[in-house]
A and B are shown apart, each in its own frame.
Chain A
Amino acid sequence: MRRYAPVVLLAAAVIAAQLILSFLKLEFLLTQLTMSAYYTLVALGLCLLMGYAGQVSLGHAGFFAIGGYTTAVLSTAGAAALSFAPWLSLPAAVAATAVVALVIGVPVLRLRGHYLAMATLAFGFIVSRVILATAVFGQADGISDVPGIRLFAGLVLSGKRTLRVQNYYIAWALVTLGLLFAVNLIGSRVGRALRAIHGNEEAAAAMGIDVGRFKLAVFVLSAVYAGVGGACLVHFNAGIGPGEAGVMKSVRYLALVAAGGMGSPWGTVAVSAGLTFLSLRGAFGLYDDAVFGALLVGIMLFAPEGLFGLVARGRRT
């Protein structure tokens, strides 16, 4: 059961970070750590799609935004319709993301390599422009005053300061669960099939793998990760803006997966948690997007096995 070590380690790190920050009276930092958890979910989903199945997506910010905007609209303008159970906007948001991924995935996943990258990039553009043009999505202003959502057992998905610690745990519990699912999947027959598709599609098909169906399924799964991240973050931030759907966001997710080592879910989580946190703290200032762009270029050129691969290589020589 050695492959579950990263999951246990993550859970331990999550608890340790909270205890240490609370003890040092630095609890305000939990806010950015919570946000970084939701972005990390997107990167984790992309890691399954890119690192394992070998399918590039430059449109994951689009899925994040679909999840976020769906629950935002349902909790504000459409709140009356769901007044009997406001939490339903979360599953609705995830379902919307999955349906869009399914509809987009069928034609787009026939493409390979650069063509797939371009098609998903175009999808991201479309989502972003539709948001900017549509009144119900608030156009350039986005949607604000999104209320928190009462979950169960007294848990509330919200950015209220008094709920900071529990929201930190909600967010990172989702990431831990996401990592657990990813590790499960990778170690199963499905994970083998995805890696086989990555290695050689013709050979995979000759072994009885329905390549098209598996690609579509992992594409939808990956979009669901992004949709969950988007939907939850909206309630934590009490709003969402069109920037979340921007192409630079998609590039950022790609850079995080690449820096994490492409096929490494725990590497992706570690890199994404760290860098996204720094970015949210404003550590990169106005160069924020440039840092992630440079990271992607640098990784591709100098460390195709990711940051941890670089460390391991350094230790060997």
Chain B
Amino acid sequence: MTGALLEVRDLHHWFGGLHVIDDVSFTCRPGIVKGIIGPNGAGKTTLFNLVAGSFPPVSGRISFDGRVLTGLPPHLVAACGISRTFQATRLFPRMTVLENVMVGMHARARHGFLAGLAGPLFTRSEEARVREACTRVLDHLGIAQLAGRGAGDLPFGRQRVVELARALAAQPKLLLLDEPACGLNPRETEEMSALIDSIRARGTTVLVVEHDMSLVMGICDEVLVLSYGRMIAEGTPREIQGNAEVVSVYLGADDA
């Protein structure tokens, strides 16, 4: 499909003898929120990690924004404009919230070891720019008041939002969210939905792996269903809800 931001073709991956991703192909148009759902062990997170470059796929091709990503290490994938969050939040616990978010802007800043050693004369203007942009991200997500707090001291729900801020600070074209509602209470889940909505409204494409059906059905423009590593359906939330195979494999079997 032309005009796709992300294109995954004939992707296969094995862990030992386990065929965790079995011939998955899909595209993601710019500006939408696309959900990936499926029962536990369906390969959702593996698919995610493959897109993010955590490890290379056994075979297949991933292209993004006109470039082939397959085989690139995660930091180069990030530099292409893909940013992510993790299923269990992985903040830098001994850094402040603002510092965490500033790390998110790493690829958007330049200065290296020599300028760093030489001091503020060489880094000040860039640091001010990074700090200002990151403060804006915190504002946008409504957590500006947490800027100076230690990230490790925050309650879990807040950590989730900080991780989202860190990913957004990279000003990504594509945002990968790995179960953003996992561990959140219903009110926090609703807030998370609203945040994802506002991120899309600002033009960022979002690919989200999620268990929470209310979140998926509420915010996704398209949904892709995985089961045992295979794609069993793809369509709008409404089409997915009406798909008999999905209902039997996922909704029916899993009680979700």
Q: Report whether B75 and A208 are in contact in the complex, using a CB–CB cutoff of 8 Å.
A: yes
Given contacts A205-B78, A208-B106, contact A180 B90 (CB under 8 A): no
Query: Could you tell me the distance between the alpha carbons of A134 and B1 in the complex, rounded to whole angstroms?
Result: 67
Q: Report whether A199 and B91 are in contact in the complex, using a CB–CB cutoff of 8 Å.
A: yes
Query: Could you tell me the distance between the alpha carbons of A187 and B86 in the complex, rounded to whole angstroms?
Result: 27
Q: Report whether B113 and A192 are in contact in the complex, using a CB–CB cutoff of 8 Å.
A: no
Distance in Å from the Cβ of B84 to the closest Cβ of chain A? 5
B residues 115-163 in Cβ contact with A at 8 Å: 115-120, 123, 126-127, 130
B residues 65-106 in Cβ contact with A at 8 Å: 73-75, 78-79, 83-84, 86, 90-95, 99, 102-104, 106
Q: Report whether A189 and B130 are in contact in the complex, using a CB–CB cutoff of 8 Å.
A: yes
Complex contacts, A180 vs chain B, CB 8 Å:
119
Contact of B112 among A181, A190, A198, A207 (CB under 8 A): A190
Per-residue contact bits, chain B 46-79, to A (CB 8 Å; 1 contact, 0 not): 0000001010000000000000000001110011
Q: Report whether B103 and A200 are in contact in the complex, using a CB–CB cutoff of 8 Å.
A: no
Given contacts A181-B117, A204-B103, A208-B170, contact A190 B111 (CB under 8 A): yes
Complex contacts, B86 vs chain A, CB 8 Å:
202-203, 206
Task: Decide yes or no whether A193 CB sits under 8 A from chain B.
Answer: yes
Distance in Å from the Cβ of B187 to the closest Cβ of chain A? 26
Distance in Å from the Cβ of A208 to the closest Cβ of chain B? 3
Complex contacts, B112 vs chain A, CB 8 Å:
189-190
Complex contacts, A303 vs chain B, CB 8 Å:
none
Given contacts A202-B74, A208-B79, A209-B103, contact A190 B116 (CB under 8 A): yes
Chain A interface SS verdict (over half):
helix
Task: Decide yes or no whether B107 CB sits under 8 A from chain A.
Answer: yes
A190, A191, A200, most chain B CB atoms within 10 A: A190
A residues 165-213 in Cβ contact with B at 8 Å: 180-181, 184-185, 187-193, 195-196, 198-200, 202-211
Distance in Å from the Cβ of A26 to the closest Cβ of chain B? 35
Q: Count of B residues near A, CB < 8 Å? A: 38
Task: Decide yes or no whether B244 CB sits under 8 A from chain A.
Answer: no
Complex contacts, A200 vs chain B, CB 8 Å:
90-92
Complex contacts, B126 vs chain A, CB 8 Å:
189
Q: Report whether A203 and B95 are in contact in the complex, using a CB–CB cutoff of 8 Å.
A: no
Query: Could you tell me the distance between the alpha carbons of A181 and B78 in the complex, rounded to whole angstroms?
Result: 29
Task: Decide yes or no whether A221 CB sits under 8 A from chain B.
Answer: yes
Query: Could you tell me the distance between the alpha carbons of A23 and B103 in the complex, rounded to whole angstroms?
Result: 50
Q: Report whether A184 and B78 are in contact in the complex, using a CB–CB cutoff of 8 Å.
A: no
Complex contacts, B170 vs chain A, CB 8 Å:
207-208
Query: Could you tell me the distance between the alpha carbons of A204 and B90 in the complex, rounded to whole angstroms?
Result: 9
Q: Report whether A206 and B117 are in contact in the complex, using a CB–CB cutoff of 8 Å.
A: no
Task: Decide yes or no whether A217 CB sits under 8 A from chain B.
Answer: yes
Q: Report whether B117 and A189 are in contact in the complex, using a CB–CB cutoff of 8 Å.
A: no
Q: Report whether A209 and B111 are in contact in the complex, using a CB–CB cutoff of 8 Å.
A: no
Q: Report whether B117 and A184 are in contact in the complex, using a CB–CB cutoff of 8 Å.
A: yes
B110's closest neighbor in chain A, by CB? A189
Complex contacts, A198 vs chain B, CB 8 Å:
92, 94
Task: Decide yes or no whether B12 CB sits under 8 A from chain A.
Answer: no
Given contacts A190-B112, A190-B113, contact A207 B90 (CB under 8 A): no
* 12 A-B residue pairings within 8 Å (CB atoms): A184-B119, A189-B123, A190-B111, A196-B95, A198-B94, A202-B74, A203-B91, A204-B103, A205-B74, A205-B78, A207-B78, A207-B83
- A-B pairs with lowest CB-CB distance, top 3: A208-B107, A199-B92, A188-B116
Extra A-B contacts (18), CB below 8 Å, given A185-B117, A189-B130, A205-B74:
A184-B117, A188-B115, A189-B109, A189-B112, A189-B127, A190-B111, A191-B116, A192-B99, A195-B99, A199-B92, A202-B54, A202-B74, A203-B92, A206-B86, A207-B75, A207-B103, A209-B106, A221-B113
Interface of B toward A, CB cutoff 8 Å: 52, 54, 73-75, 78-79, 83-84, 86, 90-95, 99, 102-104, 106-107, 109, 111-113, 115-120, 123, 126-127, 130, 166, 170
Interface of A toward B, CB cutoff 8 Å: 180-181, 184-185, 187-193, 195-196, 198-200, 202-211, 217, 221
